[in-house]
C-alpha cells in the first residue's frame, strides 16, 4: 500500500497509481515502497520533467515516456503505446502520470474502449477515475460520445 501523497493521485485499477507530475523525492519514495514501473505522458520539454529517466535508471526502476501532445495526442498510436507499457510492467506496481493526471485519465478511457472493448460510458467513467477532469470533453470527442 503506497503511503505517498501525490498530486491528483488515484488508484483506478489494481496495481496502478495515476497522478500529476511527481518530484525526484517522490520517485525515490515510490521505488522504496515497491513501485518499479513509471510511465509519463509528458513531453520531455515540458517544465518540471525530463529528469526522470536518469533517476529511475539509477534506482533500478523501469521508465517509459509516451509524449502525448495534449488533447491532440489522444489517438490510437499513443493508446497502444500505453497498453504495451502497462503489459510490459508484468503486473508490478506502476505509476502513470502527466502534468495534472488529465492526459492519463483520457488515455486510460481510450484504452478501455478501443483496446479492451468497454462501453463508451464505462470507458469515460474509468478515465474520470484515473484523473480526467478538464479533459472530459476531449474524451467525449475522441470516443464520439454525444
Residue 120 C-alpha cell reads as 463508451
**Whether residue 3 has pLDDT greater than 90:** no
Is residue 110 classed exposed, middle or buried when 0-12, 13-18 and 19+ CB atoms within 10 A define those classes?
A: buried
Residue 69 C-alpha cell reads as 501532445
For 36-84, the pLDDT digits (tens) are: 999 999 999 999 999 999 999 999 999 999 999 999 999 999 999 999 9
Report the C-alpha dihedral over residues 32, 33, 37, 40, rounded to 10 degrees. -90
| pTM, two decimal places | 0.96
Which residues does residue 18 pair with via DSSP β-bridges, in sequence order?
Answer: 10, 96
Residue 16 C-alpha cell reads as 496502478
Give the phi and the psi of residue 94 in degrees, each rounded to 5. Answer: -130, 135
Amino acid at each position: 500500500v503506497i503511503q505517498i501523497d501525490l498530486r491528483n493521485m488515484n488508484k483506478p485499477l489494481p496495481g496502478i497509481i495515476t497522478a500529476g507530475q511527481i518530484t525526484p523525492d517522490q520517485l525515490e519514495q515510490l521505488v522504496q515502497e515497491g513501485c518499479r514501473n513509471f510511465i509519463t505522458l509528458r513531453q520531455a520539454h515540458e517544465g518540471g520533467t525530463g529528469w526522470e529517466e536518469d533517476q529511475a535508471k539509477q534506482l533500478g526502476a523501469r521508465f517509459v515516456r509516451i509524449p502525448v501532445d495534449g488533447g491532440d495526442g489522444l489517438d490510437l498510436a499513443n493508446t497502444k503505446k500505453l497498453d504495451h507499457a502497462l503489459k510490459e510492467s508484468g503486473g508490478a506496481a506502476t505509476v502513470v502520470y502527466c502534468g495534472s493526471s488529465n492526459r492519463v485519465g483520457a488515455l486510460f478511457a481510450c484504452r478501455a474502449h478501443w483496446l479492451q472493448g468497454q462501453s463508451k460510458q464505462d470507458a469515460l467513467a474509468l478515465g474520470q477515475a484515473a484523473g480526467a477532469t478538464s479533459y472530459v470533453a476531449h474524451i467525449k470527442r475522441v470516443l464520439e460520445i454525444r
